[in-house]
Amino acid sequence: MKTTREQSAALFARALKVTPGGVHSPVRAFRHVGGTPVFIDRAEGAYLVDVDGNRYLDFCMSWGPLIFGHSDPDIAAAAKSAIDRGTSFGTAEATSLELAELITRAIPWVEQLRFVNSGTEAVMSAIRVARAATGRDKILKFAGCYHGHMDALLVQAGSGLAGQTIADSNGVPAATTADTLIAPLDDLAAVETIFAAHGPQIAAVIIEPVPANQGLLLQREGYLAALARLTRKHGALLIFDEVISGFRMAFGGAAEYFGVHPDLVTYGKIIGGGLPVGAYGGRAEFMAQVAPLGGVYQAGTLSANPVAMAAGLATLRKLQRLSPYAELEVRTRTLALALQTASINHSAVRINCQTAGSIFWLCSADASANPEAVHAPAQIPLTHARLYPRLFHALLNNGIYLAPSPWEVGFLSTVHDSVCIDTFTTAFKAALDSLSPD
């Protein structure tokens, strides 16, 4: 493929003058992989086309929301129809009601929900509800789990902070995180120790049930169920951050997939069909804390925006109608097996591909044919941060677009067919051939 990206470089030079780092989200900056960000002109199905005319098979898929691929005709038609009726009303409208009814009918542990504009806002609001419902202040989170950029949880948060020498963001007062407790993933004993010391003060435990912001760090069987038992024992709430996994692992997200139901849950990405949406919900007794019913204040001018609601409604209706989850999981495992086989047969580089539903993550591995699964940030091989940038650019030059970060995951959509899997595998083999041992 043509690999010149002169127009992208020119646009990035302009962006640097008017935007911090030239981007509107840190992980877009190519900081972890080097080089210049690719500026995209258009997208359709499984493909991106940049401003220089280069075409890429996309496995980033806007970081997860595009489960039916780019520019899905049904979702696009719903959004365009909504635009024709008005882009924002600032008052009550029916589409958000239909979407809320669809979700609460299908997901028993979400009796009520409130739409917001982002996953960060959803988590912030769910935390506030948990504190109000329990009368407690402390929140327990896990190292490597990212819950948006609210001050109190921006500690050991993975994602754009992964690999930095600082554990949290500048500009966050120490007092803001004083009630945030941190536990390591893959260590239930540590959680039990924290509860033994702080149990009566812990309002909630929040976790990504599929940790996917510092690698794909699936927890061992029974871990989530154990967390649920601990929170019930100590009178705390269990919050699942399903911004990534919601409606992707299953219609009911990771909670349905693993059979562990939270007290509160946050959603984003797929719930908006590719438009900016977040939501938080749970048992009605907890959601009754939210204004105007209760004393937990949360508001937003563009919350339940009618265009985003229409796109989300079209997406979720299509998911219910087609139920693509089993087929997506099979395709993802097929891809992972093909990539791992290619890696095992290659003398220079060894890659392990971890999967969860239609989510995958390429991670540097040791020389064994069956590398140990990675469950926590500390288990990620030191070679990974050095290997991934070279692999990323080798794949990019062979027409494959992945997330420009060693710690971000990839996604399959329904438009990633066997031809796409074969194309990725062929490009992956070529990329391995271009790399020398680390």
Q: Mind telling me the catalytic residues?
A: 146, 241, 269
Across the strands, what pairs with 50?
40
Rounded CA-CA distance 137/201 in Å is: 6
Count the Cβ atoms, other than its own, within 10 Å of residue 111.
15
Q: Dump strand ranges (E) for 318-409.
A: 351-356, 359-364, 400-401
Rounded CA-CA distance 165/154 in Å is: 14
Residue 393 zone, left/alpha/beta (φ > 0; ψ -120 to 50; rest)? alpha
Burial (CB count <10 Å: 0-12, 13-18, 19+), residue 206: buried
Dig out the tokens for 203 from the structure.
């309002």
Give the CB-side neighbour count of residue 202, counting CA atoms within 13 A.
28
Contacts of 95 (CB under 8 A, 6+ apart): 82, 304, 306, 309, 310, 313
Q: What one-letter code names the amino acid at 218?
A: L
Residue 197 zone, left/alpha/beta (φ > 0; ψ -120 to 50; rest)? alpha
H or E stretch covering 140: strand 138-142
Dig out the tokens for 215 from the structure.
């690698």
Dig out the tokens for 152 from the structure.
């109190």
Contacts of 82 (CB under 8 A, 6+ apart): 95, 306, 307, 309, 310, 311
CB 414, CB 67: distance < 8 Å: yes
Contacts of 332 (CB under 8 A, 6+ apart): 355, 357, 358, 359, 360, 412
